[in-house]
Amino acid sequence: MNIHTLCFSPTGTTKKIVQGIAQGTGHNEICHTDITFRTPSATNYGTGDLIIVAVPVYGGHVAPAAMKRMEGLRGNGALAVAVVVYGNRHYEHALEELADFLSARGFCLIGAGTFIGEHSYSTPETPIAVGRPDTEDLACAVRFGEGIARKLASDHPDDIIDARQIEQPEQDSQVMMLFKQTVMGWMKDGLQMPSAPLVDEALCTHCDACAGLCPTGAINNNTVEAGKCIKCCACVKGCPVGARSFPTPFAPLLAKNFSQRKENKILL
């Protein structure tokens, strides 16, 4: 079996998870494809291939930019594992979406996982799932990879799973309802959301590092083209002097309501 990974990961948490899963499979020759900055060149798979697809959750869905980059994928009967990485709030529709997307493109889904990564909006003032995936999360990713390898070696490697059967994260329904009510209130009141990160000119050294980190090429001459910005916060987290910020009201709301640790879930 040829094992492949494919991930979209502006702030690197999804990539860490998929690397952990790949390590756990114990296979030495794994083909890794990172679609953060480009659409993949190889898009056709077939029987004899297994692909582990990992994407971050944006607004309860698969990050739209990742979906777009994956449009050309064709399974032709290849096996697939669907993984979504989310910032300790919830992944809502994302796993189902990714599973349906892969199945519709001819992949046989044999595994699924929901993992936690530090929230893209997390800052020292508004910490959300800081440092995740941590050692425990990565050990879980490795165990998942080991489980995938065992399934491949079994006499039923292509047993299809139903991603909807995965265990849900532990979530206080009252907290989630209050969160949703607050967001709906913001929308009703027409609260203006920042359309892209801001730069503090007093701190910025014009090193251009942020432009290189931007998955959509939205930063030119230190200016962000808001229409291209996917609010991934790679530029914020990657600025060596902390000159970029994304002052979204979501950050304090998430930090307040979703500080309780959620755990990764896997299904094989």
Q: Which residues are near ligand FMN by CB under 6 A? A: 9-14, 56-60, 85-90, 117-120, 231-233
231 binds ligand SF4 (CB under 6 A): yes
Compute and round to an integer the Cα radius of gyration of the chain.
19
- Contact partner, 196, from ligand SF4, ligand FMN, none, Cβ < 5-8 Å per class: ligand SF4
Q: What is the DSSP letter of 193?
A: P
Count of residues interacting with ligand SF4 (CB under 6 A)? 30
Contact between 251 and ligand SF4 by CB under 6 A: the answer reads no
Residues near 56 by Cβ (< 8 Å), separated by ≥ 6?
Answer: 8, 9, 10, 13, 14, 63, 66, 84, 85, 86, 117, 120
**20 closest CA partner among 158, 168, 147:** 147
Q: Cβ closer to ligand FMN: 154 or 171?
A: 171
Q: Which of 62, 109, 218, 266 binds ligand SF4 (CB under 6 A)?
A: 218
Instruction: Pick the binder of ligand SF4 from 102, 142, 233, 255 (CB under 6 A).
Output: 233
In the DSSP assignment, the letter for residue 204 is -
Residue 229 partner contact from ligand SF4, ligand FMN, none using kind-dependent CB cut-offs of 5 to 8 Å? ligand SF4
Binding segment toward ligand SF4, per CB under 6 A, in 53-61, 126-134, 197-205, 250-258: 197-205
Neighbour count for residue 176 (Cβ, 10 Å): 15
Query: Does 235 participate in binding ligand SF4 (rule CB under 6 A)?
Result: yes
Tokens 């399974």, located at residue? 75
Contacting residues for 90 by C-beta, under 8 A, at least 6 apart: 60, 169, 171, 176
Q: Which of 23, 33, 43, 216 contacts ligand SF4 by CB under 6 A?
A: 216
Q: Return d(Cα 175, Cα 168) in angstroms, integer.
A: 16
| Distance of closest approach, residue 180 Cβ to ligand SF4, in angstroms | 24
| Least separation in angstroms between CB 58 and ligand FMN | 4
Interface with ligand SF4 in residues 100-139 (CB under 6 A): none
Residue type, 126: T
Stretch in the footprint of ligand SF4 (CB under 6 A) among 42-50, 73-81, 125-133, 195-203 = 195-203
Q: Which residue among 108, 229, 251, 255 contacts ligand SF4 (CB under 6 A)? A: 229
Count of alpha carbons within 13 angstroms of residue 38, beta-carbon side: 7
